[in-house]
Chain A
């Protein structure tokens, strides 16, 4: 096999913190886990919060720091949504792993190697309730020798009996300062030049998701060279140019159906994602000073409905046309009911 070339890792992996102490902005969990490294003990854990805030990173880091490379395989089981985690797997695989005894443990070199195993269930919110229920028993039976780490975006998707057995930690979206400092660090390592405007653009388009910020940064660096401007970042981020959004809104304002139809068709042909259009429209509508509250309410209600339809897989052209029609009617105070139903 070809040798694994370290440098072929994308930056998101290259700059993933390897130690708990390097995880930024999540002070509470870092404090608890740092303590774990000293006392060699910890409760079951539940990490939840939006994407790209360090959940997976933290779990992997603590596991590595506890056991080191030699014991890692035998002591840590990582299961994520890419593994089948149906009820059977939970019953067999996890049980088998938990059942094999661990020695009395004891520090090996710099690694504490506590006498338990860690089972990391990443992306746990995509497990079925049945599978989660099956886990309850396993957790209880093997509670002496296993620690579970649940990781998810939405805590509400984890059944209460599991959640209540864990110490819960919310991972906050990273603040702009923290993002900036990580980004600046990467820029230094990679020899990139980022002006202050570009830095703040990157902060705002990635909305607290550091993974996204790093991916954009790398994309822009590869495409546009080592001096990166705010424009370069916008172009890799998939943001719809503001004029395009304004043009559609204008067509709705003047109530010109054909024009709106043309704008929408064009928008689709340009390949922009409609979901992105919806969120940018939302921002404009909410801020607008020449639109009444009632009009805003009508339009926003439609945006919400459309978002759901898109998630269901509805056609993007038809959905955006429907939004345009509703917006037109709201802006000219036509009745919400149609006339000929």
Chain B
């Protein structure tokens, strides 16, 4: 098991970061009537850990006994039946699913499956709680339609079912859904907090962890605990005992993007654009999300730019990322951004140096 999973705190009392949120959650569920919850915060900030701890707090160890099921649902959509395949993770008390996996059919998941689950009350013989919990991940990726479909379900079945929604950006969750939940913001841990976790894991693994090195990993983690722990584990494989100034290698793809940035700044020509296109394709083929590529590329380019150009380049990055979201083929928009950059940069060079 990876350290990220192995050392995930199992209860709300054991968390190392977000102690305040954990304690609050404990108070929250001490009564039966708590509202629906919406957890939001950047990737790797600890939402899932808190949610799992919360379930355990509510239902006891039974919440840990989960089974994964892959099920095909037949949905009657008037004139035809649609098959939707969905993976669920469930215990006797809760069901967890990723409704946005169904893509443009996500509306059916909300209208049929979630409603069905919300309607039926739990078969809880010991009568611990009168309701069951549905955990929905990535609700920010749900279509507007699907989100609208959630609204009334949240009210109508609230006596038998509590929803726990989880997402990265709450801006993408409609006001109507947000206002039906208690919003729980889970901020990314600070570097100090990440160091604390690294030290904890190091101790459990019986490792000597030099303070400088821990700080170094934390600084390179983008404030993501997941990322910090992954690179900690990688470093462990690469070299042990650790040294004070051991390097924390950037991820391969990041290295690659920074090379692309160098390519672009070196030469602005159709030929170079063609070369860069190939490299961008390579990244996409390796399933690096296009917006992540674009953001990384922007940050690498900004490092190389004159202050004069920064606004302009930032603007176009935002512009093309938005277009990419509306379009279908990411590569077009990534390439368009590179071409735009080349033209701006060339214009700047000519103006400055003739």
- Contact, CB under 8 Å: B40 / A339: no
- Contact, CB under 8 Å: A312 / B42: no
Q: Which of A12, A212, A314 contacts B322 (CB 8 A)?
A: A314
- Contact A4:B311 (CB < 8 A) given known A81-B152, A238-B183, A317-B295: no
Give complex CA distance A337, B33 in Å: 55
> In the complex, what's the smallest C-beta–C-beta distance from B195 to chain A, in angstroms?
16
Which of A170-178, A196-204, A264-272 is near enough to bind chain B?
A264-272
Interface: B207 (CB within 8 A): no
Q: Which of A11, A211, A316, A326 contacts B169 (CB 8 A)?
A: A316
User: Considering only CB atoms, which chain B residue lies closest to A89 in the complex?
Assistant: B78
- Contact A10:B171 (CB < 8 A) given known A2-B123, A4-B130: no
A76-95 vs B, Cβ < 8 Å mask (1 yes, 0 no): 00001111101111001000
- Contact, CB under 8 Å: B121 / A2: yes
Query: Do most interface residues of chain A lie in helix, strand or loop, or is the interface mixed?
Result: helix
Q: How many residues of B contact A (CB 8 A)?
A: 87
In the complex, which residues of chain B have a beta carbon less than 8 angstroms from the beta carbon of A9?
33, 158-159
In the complex, which residues of chain A have a beta carbon less than 8 angstroms from the beta carbon of B302?
261
- Contact A328:B311 (CB < 8 A) given known A3-B127, A82-B150, A274-B169: yes
Give complex CA distance A275, B325 in Å: 17
Interface: B124 (CB within 8 A): yes
Which of A39-47, A141-149, A215-223, A280-288 is near enough to bind chain B?
A215-223
> In the complex, what's the smallest C-beta–C-beta distance from B142 to chain A, in angstroms?
11
Interface: A319 (CB within 8 A): yes
In the complex, which residues of chain B have a beta carbon less than 8 angstroms from the beta carbon of A275?
170-171
Give complex CA distance A4, B40 in Å: 30
In the complex, which residues of chain A have a beta carbon less than 8 angstroms from the beta carbon of B347?
339-341
B310-354 vs A, Cβ < 8 Å mask (1 yes, 0 no): 111011011101100110000000000000000111011001000
In the complex, which residues of chain A have a beta carbon less than 8 angstroms from the beta carbon of B32?
5, 7-8
Q: Which of A84, A313, A321 contacts B325 (CB 8 A)?
A: A313
Interface: B34 (CB within 8 A): yes
Q: Which of B111, B127, B152, B170 contacts A2 (CB 8 A)?
A: B127
Interface: A164 (CB within 8 A): no
- Contact A309:B322 (CB < 8 A) given known A2-B122, A4-B130, A82-B115: yes
> In the complex, what's the smallest C-beta–C-beta distance from B83 to chain A, in angstroms?
16
Q: Which of B45, B130, B153, B179 contacts A3 (CB 8 A)?
A: B130
User: Considering only CB atoms, which chain B residue lies closest to A214 in the complex?
Assistant: B35
- Contact, CB under 8 Å: B152 / A122: yes
- Contact, CB under 8 Å: B325 / A314: yes
> In the complex, what's the smallest C-beta–C-beta distance from A32 to chain B, in angstroms?
24
- Contact, CB under 8 Å: B78 / A86: yes
- Contact, CB under 8 Å: A236 / B42: no
In the complex, which residues of chain B have a beta carbon less than 8 angstroms from the beta carbon of A273?
40, 169-171
Interface: A25 (CB within 8 A): no
Interface: B304 (CB within 8 A): no
- Contact, CB under 8 Å: A12 / B187: no
Q: Which of A272, A339, A340 contacts B185 (CB 8 A)?
A: A272
- Contact, CB under 8 Å: B145 / A126: yes
In the complex, which residues of chain B have a beta carbon less than 8 angstroms from the beta carbon of A339?
308, 312, 347-348, 351
Interface core residue of A12, A237, A274 (most chain B CB under 10 Å) = A12
Interface: A250 (CB within 8 A): no
Give complex CA distance A190, B29 in Å: 16
Give complex CA distance A320, B169 in Å: 13
> In the complex, what's the smallest C-beta–C-beta distance from A336 to chain B, in angstroms?
11
Interface: A310 (CB within 8 A): yes
In the complex, which residues of chain A have a beta carbon less than 8 angstroms from the beta carbon of B28?
219, 222-223
- Contact, CB under 8 Å: B325 / A81: no
In the complex, which residues of chain A have a beta carbon less than 8 angstroms from the beta carbon of B248?
none
Interface: A1 (CB within 8 A): yes
In the complex, which residues of chain A have a beta carbon less than 8 angstroms from the beta carbon of B151?
80-82, 123
In the complex, which residues of chain A have a beta carbon less than 8 angstroms from the beta carbon of B112?
84
User: Considering only CB atoms, which chain B residue lies closest to A190 in the complex?
Assistant: B33
Q: Which of B115, B129, B312, B325 contacts A338 (CB 8 A)?
A: B312
Give complex CA distance A86, B148 in Å: 14
- Contact, CB under 8 Å: B187 / A271: yes
Interface: B249 (CB within 8 A): no
The 5 listed contacts between A and B (C-beta, < 8 Å) are A8-B130, A52-B179, A223-B28, A270-B188, A315-B295
Q: List residues of chain B with CB under 8 Å of any chain A CB.
A: 24, 27-28, 30-36, 40-42, 45, 77-79, 108, 110-112, 115, 120-125, 127, 129-131, 145, 148-153, 155-156, 158-160, 169-172, 175-176, 178-183, 185-188, 223, 291, 294-295, 298, 302, 307-312, 314-315, 317-319, 321-322, 325-326, 343-345, 347-348, 351
13 additional contacts (CB under 8 A) given A215-B179, A271-B188, A322-B318: A8-B32, A10-B158, A12-B35, A80-B151, A122-B152, A123-B148, A219-B28, A219-B35, A310-B171, A315-B325, A318-B321, A339-B308, A340-B351
The 8 closest A-B pairs by CB, nearest first: A88-B78, A5-B130, A271-B41, A340-B347, A322-B318, A219-B182, A80-B152, A275-B171
Q: List residues of chain A with CB under 8 Å of any chain B CB.
A: 1-14, 51-52, 56, 80-84, 86-89, 92, 122-123, 126, 209, 211-212, 215-216, 218-219, 222-223, 225, 236-238, 257, 261, 268-276, 309-310, 312-319, 321-322, 325-326, 328-329, 338-341
